Amino acid sequence: MMQPKLKILSGKLVSQIIDEAYGLLMDPGVRVHNDDALELLAEAGANVDLESKVAHIPEAIAQRALKTAPSEFYLYNLEGEPVVHYGGDSVQFDPGSAAITILDSKTQEQRPPVTADFVKFVKLVETIPQLDAQSTAMICSDVPEEIGDLYRLYLALNFMRKPIITGAFGKETWWTMKEMLVATVGGEAELIAKPVAVFDVCPSPPLLWSDLTCQNLIDCARSGIPSELVSMPLAGATAPVTLAGAVVQHTAECMSGVVICQLTQEGAPIVWGGSPAAFDMREGTTPMGAVGTWMIDCAYTQIGKALDMPTHAYLGMSDAKIVDAQCGLESAGGTLLAALAGVNMVSGAGMMDFESCQSHEKLVIDAEIIGMAKRLIAGIEARDEPIALTLMRSMGHRADYLADPHTRKWFQEEFYIPSEIIDRGSLDGWKSKGAKTTLERASDRVDQLLKNYQPGPVSDKLAAELRRITAEAAQRFGMDQLPPLPEE
């Protein structure tokens, strides 16, 4: 089967970009504000300036790290089945992460999310077949800021079965999140053998590892938890404005992340990912819906594949504030390109207003786009031998395919059949159903899907343990009682 693919960089550009990235690692080098990492780098032979905290990393070290980093790994669901494949040209999707607002379902206005919103989201994701993994999609405002990262994971673990893409906001909270994961799968060794979570780790453009993110990277590597690099050059602002230039920076930043990871633990799984943008030169904002943004994503993904790394990208989002035409067109453009570029994990479904707002309604609309994208890259096959000769000769000049067994056999595999979110009725038909907008149909679908939710495999004992871990963390920051988990 031939998977349709998009190659956006010429071979020559790929080589040039990689070469320049190696060059940047030496000069100006990478700022690393983490003493452990600086020590590892120095021991490995990098030229480390302890005062300015800059590491000058020789190409040989980077090349070795890229070789020892695994080219693929699996994520497992809570039933222990491998359901996500990072590697090759597998393409999977998860919702955008760490939203600070939610688009209220009733008012369609943004407000801070609370526990019930995220629980509803997790359940919804479980019912959406197009989504391959969960994410800690929103930060709940009904708990102290200091536990914002771990609280979302706690909620998700209670209601999910799919694996999860997450991330920490602190050094200590990372450990609490790990504790939850270990409790969930039944042990540290189990977590290493069958990872259920990936942690995003973000360098700061240009060429900087902050203490916190570097520590997360190191802790993930030591614990055998896959880390996902999210390098975010802002072309024209914190990175060169040329798309190729932004990719050079992305490459160097990811190389440095792979180096620190592999020096910590050779063979630790790590993902070549990002969330770049083509800086908007009027508004000074970071558009996720800009074609330039998508191009940088596709280009760096191609570099990642050239280096035999599993890949990730933030694509499929919109900068729109409401679920309107801009919202749809931007999300579709990015999603389709992500699929064609072969990004292993595409983060972004449901997300709007740059990377700040999540929406249940947009999530189910995005699911349709994802469905189309997945069908696209499943490609065209002959299906039969011969393709059509025998069939058409037997049909002669009749146009009777609708009733033919051949049609009934293949149509559901050949066509992506969307939900009612996509209106394909007649004008009168649409009117008779209430002349609904896409948003209204999406809202109906959210309610419909939630009825299909099946609880995850979390036992009462595990739920109590997760609650204990989270409650202890909350108490350290002044919250005596966790918000209750929503009932059915």
Q: In a 3-state reduction of DSSP, which class is residue 92?
A: strand
Quote the tokens at residue 201: 């780790």
264 binds another protein (CB under 8 A): no
Q: How many CA atoms lie within 13 A of 188 on its CB side?
A: 6
Q: How far is the CB of 146 from another protein (least distance, A)?
A: 8
Tell the burial category of 70 from Cβ atoms under 10 Å away from its Cβ (0-12, 13-18, 19+).
middle
210 binds another protein (CB under 8 A): yes
CA distance 377 to 335: 12
204 binds another protein (CB under 8 A): yes
Asked if residue 38 lies in contact with residue 50, where contact means CB atoms within 8 angstroms, the answer is: yes
DSSP for 292-338, written as a single string: HHHHHHHHHHHHHHHTT--BEEE-S----SSSSHHHHHHHHHHHHHH
Residues forming beta bridges with residue 201, ordered by sequence position: 229
Query: With respect to another protein, which residue has the nearer C-beta, 88 or 245?
Result: 245
From residue 335 to residue 374, the character string flagging contacts with another protein as x (rule: CB under 8 A) and all else as - is -------------------x-x------------------
φ, ψ for residue 285 (rounded to 5)? -110, 175
Q: How far is the CB of 232 from another protein (least distance, A)?
A: 11
Q: In a 3-state reduction of DSSP, which class is residue 24?
A: helix
173 binds another protein (CB under 8 A): no
CA distance 297 to 309: 15
Per CB under 8 A, which of residues 68..127 are in contact with another protein? 100
Q: Which stretch binds another protein (CB under 8 A): 82-90, 232-240, 247-255, 371-379?
A: 232-240
Q: Which stretch binds another protein (CB under 8 A): 191-199, 236-244, 253-261, 358-366?
A: 236-244
Per CB under 8 A, which of residues 142..161 are in contact with another protein? 145, 148
Position among 236, 418, 483, 486 found at the interface with another protein (CB under 8 A): 236
281 binds another protein (CB under 8 A): yes
Q: How far is the CB of 167 from another protein (least distance, A)?
A: 13
478 binds another protein (CB under 8 A): no
211 binds another protein (CB under 8 A): no
Binding site for another protein (CB under 8 A): 100, 139, 145, 148, 169, 204, 210, 234, 236-238, 281-284, 354, 356
